Amino acid sequence: MAMNVLVMLSGTASASAVAAQAVPVREVFSFRSMATVKSMKTTHCMVLNGKSRVGFVVDSGLSMMSSLTKGVMHAVDAVRSLEAETHDDAVESGSKPIHPVVGGGRPELFVGLPLDTVSNGKTVNHVKAISAGLKALKLLGVDGVDVPVWWGVVEKENRGEYDWTSYLELAQMIQDAGLKIHVSLYFHASKFPGIPLPTWVSSIGDSDANIYFADKQGNRNKECLSFGVDNLPVLAGKTPLQVYGDFCKNFQTTFAAFMSNNTITDVSIGLGPGGELRYPSMPAKKTEGGGVGEFQCYDKHMLNQLQKNADECGNHYWGFCGPHDAPRYDESPDAGNFFKDNGGSWETPYGDFFLTWYSNQLLSHGERLLSMASSVFGSSPVTLSGKIPVAHTWYKTRAHSSEQTAGYHNTDKRDGYDAVADIFGRNSCRMILSGMEVAHDTQQALLDQIKKACQKHNVCVAGENSSISGEFTKIKDNISESSKVVSFTYQRMGATFFSPENWPRFTEFVRSIRQPELHSDDVATGGEGSIALRTTVLADNSSNRQMQSA
C-alpha cells in the first residue's frame, strides 16, 4: 500500500507562502488482509509556534488489520515529519517548543494504553504502533500514559515468581518518549483482552470454588477473589492480602529507578472487579440491561461472616442468606419487594442490617488493600490511587439499588460515600472516578455527591472517561479548575482513539486545556499565525469502535 505525506512549511499563516514537497513514508505496519480496502483522505494542520507551520496530507488505503495499528495510521505519519521539523524550527527561531506544563490549576492529562499492551511476560504487543502513538501524544502535549499491569501476566505460573520483562521494556519506551507513567496494578481477570488470573490461582479455584464470589443461584464469578478470603491462607499457605503485598513489594523494587527519576509518578491499586472497589454485582455481559444487579455474598466464607455478624446482633436467622425478595440481575427495583421505593424491605431492621454488613465488608476490603499499598509505597516518590464505581442507574430512586448491590449503602437518607472517602483520606490515596464524559443528570448528581465527600476528607480526585466519546465539553466541565480534579486519563489508546473521527476532537480538547499555559513565544501576534492543534477530515469511512474496558 502506497502512502505519501505532503509537507508544507511557511513563515506565516498565509497559504500563498506555502512551499510543498511530497515525502514518501516507509510502511511500519504489518497487514493481515487486503481483502477490504477503504479509501480516505485526511488533512491535518499543526502550528507548533507563531513562526512555523507543519501540515500534512495522508492519502492511503485502509486494509483490515489490528485495531490499534489501523487507528495509529491516522496520526503516525505526522510524527516523523513533526519530530524533525519541531527541532529544526526551535533551533532556527530560538523560540521554545511547546511542552507539557503542570500547574496553574489545570489537571495532568494521560492516555491509557491498550489493555493487551502486555499479555505475556516476554513481549510488548503492537510495539511499533505504540511507539508511534507515544510520539504523537508527546508532540500533542499529553503528560503521560496509564499502563495496565496484570497479576495474571507477571506472577502467572507459580506464587512468588515474577516476570517483569515486558513491562520493563515498555517503561523504557515510555521514558525515552519523554512521558510520565501511571501504573494500574490489576488483581482481577479480564475477558477482553483475555487476561486470566494467575494459572496457579485458577488451579486452586478448580478445587476450591469458594475462593470466588457467588450469587444466590450459586453462579461463581471468577473475575477476582472473594473479599471473604482476604485474610485466609487459601493461596498455597498465604492469604490473598499477603500475596497482593508481595506483588506490590516486588514491583516497587523492580521499578525503583523509574520512580526515583519521576517517570512513574502514580500507582493505582486494583481493588476488585474491573479494578474498582465494588462487588461483581453486574457481570460484564449483563451491563446493558439497566437492571439492579445481584448481591454477591453466597460463597462459604462470605456466608460465614454474615452468620457471625447476625449472631453478634442477636438475630441468628438473619445470617442464613441474603435478601430472598431481591430482584435478579436485569430486573428493575420493582421486580421484587426488597428495593421498592415504598414499603420495600430495605427499610426494615433486617434490610438495614444486611445492607450495612454487606457494605462494611467492601469497606474493610478497601481499607486492607489501601493500607497495604500505603505501607509498601510510603517511602517511594509516587502518588497512590484507587478507583470506585459510579453506579448511577437507579440513583434517583430512594433505595439506590444498583449502588447497593455494588456495595455502597447509599439511600435518600444516608450518604454511602462518606466512609469510602474517609478510607482514601486516611491512606493518602487519590480517588479515580469514571464517567467524566457522560451528560446524564443522574450520573452528574452522583459524581457531585462523591466529589463532595472527597472534599470533606481532603481526597484528591482523578477522572476518567467510561467510553470513547467525541463530545469533550462535559469532560472539560468536570475537570475544570473549580472541580478540583487533579488529573484526567482518557481511556484508551486504540483504533477509535486515533481515528479521524475522534483524534481531531481529542487534539482540540488537549489544546483547550493546555493553551492558557503556553510560553509567550508560542502565541502568535499581529496575524503571524495562530496556535492550533486541529484535524480537518475531508472524507471518513472509518467505523466506530467501543473502547476497551478493564
Which pLDDT score is estimated for 539?
A: 33
Which pLDDT score is estimated for 122?
A: 84
Beta bridge partners of 215: none
pLDDT band at 516 (very low <50, low <70, confident <90, very high): low
Give the model confidence (pLDDT) of 312-338 as tens digits: 999 999 999 999 999 999 999 999 999
Is 226 in a helix, a strand, or coil?
Answer: coil
Among 43-57, 101-115, 270-284, which stretch is predicted with the lowest mean pLDDT?
43-57
Mean pLDDT on 51-69: 39
Which pLDDT score is estimated for 438?
A: 83
Residue type, 140: L
Segment holding 201, helix H or strand E: helix 199-207
Rounded Cα–Cα distance for residues 10 and 485 (Å): 39
Which pLDDT score is estimated for 550?
A: 66
Helices (H), 159-281: 165-176, 199-207, 240-254, 256-260
Q: What are phi and psi of 453, to 5 degrees?
A: -65, -40
Which pLDDT score is estimated for 72?
A: 60
Residue 541 reports pLDDT greater than 70: no
Domain residue ranges of the chain, discontinuous segments joined by +: 115-293+328-459
Residue 43 DSSP class: E
pLDDT band at 480 (very low <50, low <70, confident <90, very high): confident
Is 15 in a helix, a strand, or coil?
Answer: helix
pLDDT band at 76 (very low <50, low <70, confident <90, very high): low
C-alpha cell read off for 377: 509505597
Give the model confidence (pLDDT) of 129-184 as tens digits: 999 999 999 999 999 999 999 999 999 999 999 999 999 999 999 999 999 999 99
Single pTM value for the model: 0.81
* Selected residue with higher pLDDT from 3 and 267: 267
Residue 431 reports pLDDT greater than 60: yes
Active-site residue, from 276, 294, 331, 403: 276
C-alpha cell read off for 202: 485458577
Residue 84 neighbours by CB under 8 Å, 6+ apart: none
Q: What is the mean pLDDT of the chain?
A: 81
Residue 452 DSSP class: H
Which pLDDT score is estimated for 50?
A: 34
Length of the chain: 550
Residue corresponding to grid cell 486541529: 534
Which pLDDT score is estimated for 407?
A: 98
* Selected residue with higher pLDDT from 536 and 135: 135
Rounded Cα–Cα distance for residues 315 and 298 (Å): 19
Which pLDDT score is estimated for 219?
A: 96
Which pLDDT score is estimated for 68?
A: 55
Residue 7 neighbours by CB under 8 Å, 6+ apart: 20, 21, 22, 23, 54, 55, 56, 81, 85
Q: What is the dihedral of CA 281, 287, 292, 293, to 10 degrees?
A: -20
Rounded Cα–Cα distance for residues 64 and 70 (Å): 8
Residue 475 DSSP class: H
* Selected residue with higher pLDDT from 103 and 381: 381
464 is catalytic: yes
Which pLDDT score is estimated for 305?
A: 98
Displacement of CA 193 from its chain's centroid (Å) = 14
Segment holding 442, helix H or strand E: helix 441-456
* Selected residue with higher pLDDT from 519 and 425: 425
% of the chain surpassing 70 pLDDT: 73
CATH 3.30.470.10 assigned to 115-293+328-459: no
Rounded Cα–Cα distance for residues 498 and 73 (Å): 8
% of the chain surpassing 90 pLDDT: 65
Among 36-50, 154-168, 286-300, 490-504, which stretch is predicted with the lowest mean pLDDT?
36-50
Which pLDDT score is estimated for 289?
A: 55
C-alpha cell read off for 24: 514518501
pLDDT band at 544 (very low <50, low <70, confident <90, very high): very low
C-alpha cell read off for 180: 510520565
528 is catalytic: no
* Selected residue with higher pLDDT from 341 and 29: 341
Among 101-105, 206-210, 424-428, 431-435, which stretch is predicted with the lowest mean pLDDT?
101-105
pLDDT band at 483 (very low <50, low <70, confident <90, very high): confident
Q: Strand 532-539's sheet: what is its strand order?
A: 19-24, 4-10, 52-64, 33-49, 532-539
Which pLDDT score is estimated for 149?
A: 98
Segment holding 288, helix H or strand E: none
